[in-house]
Structure 1
Amino acid sequence: MNDAHHRLIDHFTRHDVRFEEIEHPTAASAEEYSRVVGSALHEQAKALLLRRHRREGGKDLVIHSLPGDQRADLDALADALAAKRLRMASADELKEATGCNFGELPSVGSIFGLPLSMDVRLLEQSRIFFNAGVLDRSVILAPHDLQALESPLVVTPTGYGEGF
């Protein structure tokens, strides 16, 4: 397993977060992932690495987690993240910041030293699924446990919320 996987599992274990890790075949789409792991699309917490151009100047990276059946509205999300502009990070930026490739990024920011924002709809689920830093392993946990551990900025579906 790669470093992101080890860091994630160690992080959850050290902080006594209840989670289940499952091994599964890789999936090429959210729909296929849903079938492979036995989740509903809205239970999937897909993670996006975003390059934020801050309103007050400077740039940084933010992980945004949203339900697997949704698309991020980067313009609306920019308001919540106190950004004048957001864009998806490149594959090189993703690899450099997290050690992950596309599809592997877990919905956890602290193991990478990055802030996490989280779509409020994930908190409506009793459990969420996301890749564990690799394509063939996932974790299942209660979203409120993730919220307690990560203290993410929680945003509404339109991206509205208070920035960090």
Structure 2
Amino acid sequence: MEQQDAYARLVSMLDTAGAQYRMIDHAPEGRTEIVSGYRGHPVASAAKCMVVMVKIGKRTSRYFLAVVPGDARIDLEALKSAVQGTYVSFASTPKAEALAGSVSGTILPFSFHPDLELVVDPGLLRNAEIFFNAARLDRSMALRTEDYLRITDPQIRPITIAVATPDT
């Protein structure tokens, strides 16, 4: 699936499901902290998406699309433990992009690949809307969290490490 295909598939799926969303055009950017400013929302409302490989024993590997709040880091050990894995690492960039159907920095919080299991940290779900790049660096989407959950029915597991922020 190419980037344009992922974008078109996303919009089609959301329209078919009757989801409430809005598009936000901005300067090309894939870094969560920066693009959140362009979009005008708290970083915690951003859906940060990473593809993670977990080995289950010696011969089996499973791939997970881990979706966490933009102000948190993924806890790889928590994900490994949750799925009873023996080894965990981020997927290689080529593998992640092949499974996700878009380039790094634009990975959607949706899985369109049967070998990519969706896992969402409950911290992201505290927001009324989630924000993410829509398989493009220059366009993002704001999607009602309620619609996201209804459409994806993800595994919900605590998979983050809080990132300390300086006091202001």
TM-score over 0.5 for the alignment?
yes
1:126 is aligned to: 128
- Mapped to 2, the partners of 1:32 and 1:45 lie a distance apart of 13
CA change 1:51–1:80 in 2 (3 A) is: same
Unaligned runs of 5+ in 1: 160-164
1:104 is paired with a residue whose SS is: coil
List aligned pairs for 1:1-150, cutoff 5 A.
Answer: 2-27=4-29, 29-55=31-57, 57-109=59-111, 111-113=112-114, 114-150=116-152
Q: TM-score, normalised by structure 2?
A: 0.85
Once the two structures are TM-superposed, the CA of residue 95 in structure 1 deviates from its matched residue by 2.5
1:65-112 CA deviation, whole Å, 9 max, x = no partner? Answer: 000111111011211233222211111102222331110101111x23
Structure 2 contact 45–124 (Cα < 8 Å) conserved: yes
Moved over 3 A (4+): none
Once the two structures are TM-superposed, the CA of residue 10 in structure 1 deviates from its matched residue by 1.1
Q: How many residues get paired? A: 158
Structure 1 contact 121–157 (Cα < 8 Å) conserved: no
Q: TM-score, normalised by structure 1?
A: 0.87
Structure 2 contact 30–137 (Cα < 8 Å) conserved: no
CA change 1:94–1:156 in 2 (3 A) is: closer
Unaligned runs of 5+ in 2: 162-168
